[in-house]
Structure 1
């Protein structure tokens, strides 16, 4: 009985740890230039594709009714809160890396190639946005 309980507990712990090595969840985005928290972003997986929306803005200068005026696609004029900023990202076979989609910078209306890599046991997420060889990486922190 005790042995079975221990096996079940260890299995659940291992499953929870593996689930954390996924970008799915709620993340705090920190500006890589200023070090200040900018927003909370919810990442979900739908049919094997990862998408993300801005759930909450943390910048004190942000207005609740701000819209994506710089966007050039179907997101133009949509509210920043709730805006889908990551589209089309998929897990790379055999790796804890998600790639192949785009991330939107709503301030500029520009889209970049997106690459998401959970690090530190899934407690942090490296979010790489790039065009060709040029890009930058932000480290987001998981919100429990």
Structure 2
């Protein structure tokens, strides 16, 4: 009887820990991005649930810019051209697929280029690998974002 109770407690605790890990694996929240060249904090980005069930992200704050304190997306096209980077939606259409979030796109406001994106939140929920790429995931670059909240 004691062994059965111990086994039941072990199974129940593993479910509890796995649900906590799953909840923390969500990219939704506020993140600090980094500059690829310097490694310094570059911006504060909020990832949120979009109306269509995907996730999207907008820039809440620009921490570092070589274009002054209030940069605009001068290399962007369409509706984003010459609009402030602060408040701009820079990621959209991302959906969960297993342990990663992908299928959407991400904008680099410095270049105006749009890339496919894959997000991989760490199991502890504190960091996230963000991969932007053209075509195949092998042809791209990674950044590590840090959760702020």
Q: TM-score range by the shorter chain?
A: 0.7 to 0.9
Q: TM-score, normalised on structure 1?
A: 0.83
Counterpart of 2:111 in structure 1 is 108
**Equivalent residues in 2 for 1:74-113, closer than 5 Å:** 74-92=79-97, 95-113=98-116
CA distance in 1, matches of 2:65, 2:133: 27
Alpha-carbon RMSD across the aligned residues, in angstroms, is 2.1
Residue 78 of structure 2 aligns to a residue whose secondary structure is coil
CA distance in 2, matches of 1:100, 1:125: 16
Match of 1:30 among 1, 10, 34: 34
CA distance in 1, matches of 2:109, 2:66: 15
CA distance in 2, matches of 1:42, 1:26: 4
CA distance in 2, matches of 1:87, 1:96: 18
**Equivalent residues in 2 for 1:9-20, closer than 5 Å:** 16-20=20-24
Counterpart of 1:43 in structure 2 is 47
Counterpart of 1:129 in structure 2 is 132
CA distance in 2, matches of 1:86, 1:130: 13
Counterpart of 2:5 in structure 1 is none
Retained in 1: the 8 A contact 2:71–2:85?
yes
Residue 124 of structure 2 aligns to a residue whose secondary structure is helix
| Offset at residue 19 of structure 1 (A) | 2.1
